[in-house]
């Protein structure tokens, strides 16, 4: 086994050496491809195929990577891949000249070429380009994975996304769709009168979510700062300033583990709208999800993991208490206090920490018994105040807040509130968070005095929401892991 591997490595090293020798020969003959600075592309592969009737016999110029090549004496075929797909080119010695044809025969799979020629259809009916000129634009000095087996090693795929995009067309399609999803979201929100804004990534107080921040040092100011974990507190400051509808799509950073749903840096979208509440956020979310699915996927009925998901029908709405009552058989409305909640948790085998209160335990019951059942779109509403430090209380039930999370395919897709705009209550909530931090909760929020000052200036009643863009892309591209929708996911260094 070891001998075979050594022989294979020697073969690869020899092939790599040959490629460098080919480049050196080109350079010696004044044909260095890396000296070429531009190439005029008139068409792409799919454009040509879709408009064949009008382009037949016309001269076009394409550019892309040689993915296969068949040399047959005086005439050859090559397949060129561009952003839209693949197209065949017929390359004949009598059409491009003897010297150019001799050069072409030495080109390798992986090289990037420009081809100018007439559009035609072969005897087998394949739309192709009859080359009049072939230009080597870049020499590939590495070897692409073998065509028929492709690039299947997931670790290499994530580390070398550039190779993954070349070899796996469905991967490129996923990221094209990701771009379209974000564009569609922007179009929808812009049409609703929202303004897109940008807020700081380096902050002195990383608040707005329950997560551990990354920390760094700002040399110019000689201050320790953090990477943001949320967009919330700065966007709310803009609501205070009179910008009634704002949103931001940006990277946030959480110092946590990696799994199929989590990456330490990911894309979050948050939006805030004055003079509405969490019911308004539910309506906006339903409408936006339908809009994006219809625009990007062409339907509001999608398939994820073999399961049909209906985004077209009204989303189910259920309180957290009712959901736990349905799936765990425990009614937290009948539980008087934390002591009784812990007793029932012991009976049900739900693990909790000493610092947890009744509301925390309700949330643990939800995670343990309910989440796995929420396949179709479901708004879970009215969370306990203990886990919602920035949310307005329910007037008729002050131990709970006007908050919802949307679950689809058993995953949280977004988190929304009727935003807390009472600065006195907010200060008390921050104090409770400081106590939780002192008791060992490393994800607790810290008091933000400037944010409290903004609230004292006065913030109108406001609805706000945060969407995990990566999870939405996973849903609409039927991707099982967050790494499949991140171009460059976080990986442990190899050195």
- Residue 207 pLDDT level (bands cut at 50, 70, 90): confident
pLDDT digits (tens, 9 = 90+) for 217-253: 999 999 999 999 999 999 999 999 999 999 999 999 9
pLDDT for residue 459 is more than 50: yes
* pTM exceeding the 0.85 threshold for the entire prediction: yes
CB distance 278 to 403 below 8 Å:
yes
pLDDT at 148: 47
304-313: Cβ within 8 A, 24+ apart: 304/409, 304/475, 304/478, 305/409, 305/478, 305/480, 307/375, 307/409, 309/375, 309/376, 309/377, 309/408, 309/409, 309/475, 310/376, 310/377, 311/377
DSSP string computed for 103-135: HHHH--TT-EEEEEEEEEE-TT--EEEEEEEEE
Model pLDDT for residues 311-324, shown as the tens digit of each residue? 999 999 999 999 99
Q: % helix / strand / coil in the chain, to the nearest 5?
A: 40, 25, 35
As a whole number, mean pLDDT of residues 337-351 equals: 97
- pLDDT tens, position by position, 140-198: 999 998 754 556 788 889 999 999 999 999 999 999 999 999 999 999 999 999 999 99
As a whole number, the mean pLDDT across the chain is 94
Q: Is the dihedral of CA 166, 170, 173, 178 positive or negative?
A: negative
Expressed in angstroms, the distance from the first to the final Cα of the chain is 26
Residue pair 408/290 in contact (Cβ under 8 Å)? The answer is no
Residue burial 274-304, b: 16+ Cβ < 10 Å; e: rest: bebbbbbbbebbbebbbbbbeebbeebebeb
Alpha helices in 98-231 (DSSP H): 98-106, 154-159, 161-167, 169-191
Residue 199 backbone phi and psi in degrees, to 5: -130, 165
pLDDT value at 2 more than 80: no
């Amino acid at each position: 086994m070891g001998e075979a591997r050594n022989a294979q490595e020697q073969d690869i090293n020899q092939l790599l050496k040959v490629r460098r020798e080919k480049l050196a020969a080109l350079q010696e003959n004044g044909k260095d491809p890396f000296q070429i600075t531009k190439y005029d592309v008139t068409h792409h592969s799919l454009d040509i195929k879709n408009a064949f009737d009008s382009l037949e016999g016309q001269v076009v110029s394409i550019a892309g990577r040689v993915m296969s090549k068949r040399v047959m004496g005086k005439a050859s075929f090559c397949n060129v891949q561009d952003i839209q797909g693949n197209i065949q080119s017929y390359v004949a010695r009598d059409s491009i000249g003897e010297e150019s044809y001799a050069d072409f025969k030495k080109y390798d799979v992986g090289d990037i070429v420009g081809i100018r020629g007439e559009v035609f259809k072969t005897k087998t009916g394949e739309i192709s380009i009859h080359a009049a000129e072939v230009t080597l634009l870049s020499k590939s000095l590495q070897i692409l994975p073998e065509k028929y087996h492709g690039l299947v090693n997931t670790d290499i795929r994530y580390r070398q996304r550039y190779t993954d995009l070349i070899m796996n067309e469905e991967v490129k399609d996923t990221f094209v769709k990701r771009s379209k999803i974000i564009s569609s979201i922007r179009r929808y929100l812009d049409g609703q009168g929202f303004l897109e804004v940008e807020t700081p990534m380096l902050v002195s107080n990383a608040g707005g979510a329950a997560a551990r921040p990354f920390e760094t040092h700002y040399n110019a100011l000689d201050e320790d700062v953090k990477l943001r974990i949320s967009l919330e507190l700065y966007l709310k400051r803009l609501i205070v300033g009179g910008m009634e509808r704002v949103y931001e799509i940006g990277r946030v950073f959480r110092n946590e583990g990696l799994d199929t749903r989590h990456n330490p840096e990911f894309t979050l979208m948050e939006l805030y709208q004055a003079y509405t509440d969490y019911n308004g956020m539910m309506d906006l979310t339903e409408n936006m999800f339908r809009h994006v699915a219809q625009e990007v996927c062409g339907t509001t009925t999608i398939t994820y993991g073999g399961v049909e998901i209906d985004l077209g029908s009204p989303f189910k709405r259920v309180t957290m208490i009712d959901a736990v009552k349905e799936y765990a058989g425990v009614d937290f409305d009948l539980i008087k206090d934390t002591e009784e909640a812990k007793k029932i948790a012991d009976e049900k085998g739900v693990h909790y920490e000493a610092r947890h209160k009744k509301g925390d335990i309700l949330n643990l019951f939800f995670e343990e018994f309910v989440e796995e059942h929420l396949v179709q779109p479901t708004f879970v509403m009215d969370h306990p105040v203990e886990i919602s430090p920035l949310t307005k209380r329910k007037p008729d039930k002050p131990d709970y807040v006007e908050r919802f999370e949307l679950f689809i395919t058993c995953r949280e897709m977004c988190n929304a509130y009727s935003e807390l705009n009472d600065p006195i209550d907010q200060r008390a909530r921050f104090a409770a968070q400081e106590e939780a931090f002192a008791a060992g909760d490393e994800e607790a929020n810290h008091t933000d005095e400037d944010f409290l000052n903004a609230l004292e200036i006065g913030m109108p009643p406001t609805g706000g929401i945060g969407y995990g863009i990566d999870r939405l892309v996973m849903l609409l591209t039927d991707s099982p892991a967050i790494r499949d929708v991140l171009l460059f996911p976080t990986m442990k260094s190899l050195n």
